[in-house]
Amino acid sequence: YITGKIQDYIPASCSITVEIDSEGNYGSDKDGQIKERQDLIQPIDMNTESQELPQKAAKLNASFNFHPTNLLTQGSHTFRVTIKNPAGLIGTSTTKEGFDWIPFEIIPKPTLLWQKEFEQNVGNISMTGDGKYIVVDTMPDESETNKIYMFDKEGNIVWQHSSTEYGSTSFCFISISKNGSYIAAGMSIPGEFEGMSGLLYFDKNGKLLWKVSGVLPDDFSLSDDGEYILMADPIGSWYVWLYNKNGEKLWEKTGIMGAPIISGDGNYILIYNQLFNKEGSLLWGKDGFIRSGISKNGNIIVGWRHSTLRTFDLSGNLLGEYSCKSKNEVLYPVLSENGEYIIATNNLMDKAYFFNNNCSLLWEKEYSSHDLKEFGAITNDGKYCAVVYGSLSIDIFNEKGEIVGQINLESENGGEVIMPWSSDGRYMAITERKKKLYFYDTSSIIK
């Protein structure tokens, strides 16, 4: 709602109303006076105190608030307070000096298309680049079994599988290729060495194509077309494997820390602080660097170490770096697919930062006492990004740092948020790893 205050000397027995001008949407008369539209606002709550003066005037201290109704479109608007008495119009003013229109902003909320509630908590979600399909795995309960699902963008179940169908204790992670052709699901295998597990590879119809054991269930990465799957096992000798879509192992590395990422085009692999091509040849390695993201074509690599953000090109040249004021601060960067922009959160300082790929700070947003989370999302072109704060509230920004949309789920506990966004920014899926999944249409705020 909109709030304001008035402190002025005005005649007694006056009344106060509010008028709204919505960027010309409702027009002005020929004299340039904004037409009153009381249907644009809900009733005003007034708190006034007046003091009688010898001149038979009153000093008015009025606090008011009003709620814009749905008749107002999103965007920039102005309001003014109109002061009247029985003799007629006294003036319009929110300060003693002026009669200016006061700007305010209606921040749009994306449209919730559907939501699902599961019997078990949601573990992970993944979405195709066009937002047409979403895959979900649930977290195992006392039975140590769970399910995986594919939904279409209308919320219909395309297919589902129980972990008991494959002799595994539970599914552990799920991911779908950007083009929607393949789905990888991690699994835990009974009788295997503790910590060891496997991976199942499905086609878009939910048909199992192949499976492999001995990989970490939540540490794999798919190329956009699903032609390549990068997997890692941090147990023992630190293995990393590259498979193709047919389940053939192309190569393996040992003695390398896990957490692998493959570029969208499948040509480059980033493992911790080393970059490889898809043939497995080392291109370069960097000390003091932890991988965080790689652009679709591999031309931009972003990583961090302690309180410093760094970007590199394909040849390993340093493009730029940004260091926080305190060494105790940690940045959590997310790189746009085209490699142009980075949204980074700093939950220690409750700040969100927006950089270009040279680590030049374009804008920052402070969330004082709002508990900023280490989760961020960004569209393919980097023109829109989102951050999470408080009890599961999400702000969506444009590249100028202006808030263009908000989502408020008002969770009691504010859990760990996963929010994949379609490449064009039209659809967003959200879960806080509890029993609910939300699916939004954000196209109304993406211009």
Per-residue pLDDT tens, the chain, 447 aa: give them: 333 443 333 333 344 444 444 433 333 322 333 333 333 333 333 333 333 333 333 333 344 444 444 444 455 555 554 444 433 333 343 333 333 444 444 467 788 999 999 989 898 999 999 999 999 999 887 777 899 999 999 999 999 999 888 877 788 889 999 999 999 998 876 655 444 578 899 999 999 999 988 776 667 899 999 999 998 765 545 678 899 999 999 998 887 665 689 999 999 999 888 899 999 999 998 876 776 899 999 999 998 877 889 999 999 999 999 998 877 777 889 999 999 999 998 877 788 999 999 999 999 998 876 678 878 899 999 999 999 887 778 899 999 998 888 888 766 555 678 899 999 899 999 998 788 999 999 988 887
Distance CA 113, CA 429 (A): 10
Would you list the DSSP string of 406-426? Answer: EEE---SS----B--B-TTSS
Is-contact 338 375, C-beta < 8 A?
A: no
Mapping DSSP to helix (H, G, I), strand (E, B) and coil, where does residue 38 land?
A: helix
DSSP-assigned beta bridge partners for residue 76: 105
**DSSP-assigned beta bridge partners for residue 119:** none
Task: Phi first, then psi: give them for residue 76, nearest 5 degrees.
Answer: -90, 140
How far from 282 is each of 68, 215, 269, CA to CA, in Å?
59, 22, 9
Structure tokens belonging to residue 55: 């001149």
Is the CB of residue 28 less than 8 Å from the CB of residue 97?
A: no
Burial 190-207 (b: 16+ CB within 10 A, else e): eeeeeebbbbbbbebeee
Residue 61 belongs to what H/E stretch? strand 57-66
Count the neighbouring beta carbons within 10 Å of the beta carbon of residue 5. 12
Q: CA-CA distance, 258 to 273, in Å (whole number)?
A: 10
pLDDT of residue 321: 93
**Cα–Cα distance, 26 to 34 (Å, whole number):** 8
Q: How far is CA 3 from the centre of its chain?
A: 29
pTM for the model stands at 0.76
- Cα separation of 327 and 305, whole Å? 10
Token pair of 210 as six digits: 């192949």
Task: Please give the radius of gyration of the chain, using alpha carbons only, rounded to the nearest integer.
Answer: 27
CB atoms closer than 10 angstroms to residue 176: 25
Distance of alpha carbon 135 from alpha carbon 23, whole angstroms: 42
Q: Which two tokens stand for residue 342?
A: 């980075």
Q: How far apart are the first and last CA of the chain?
A: 25
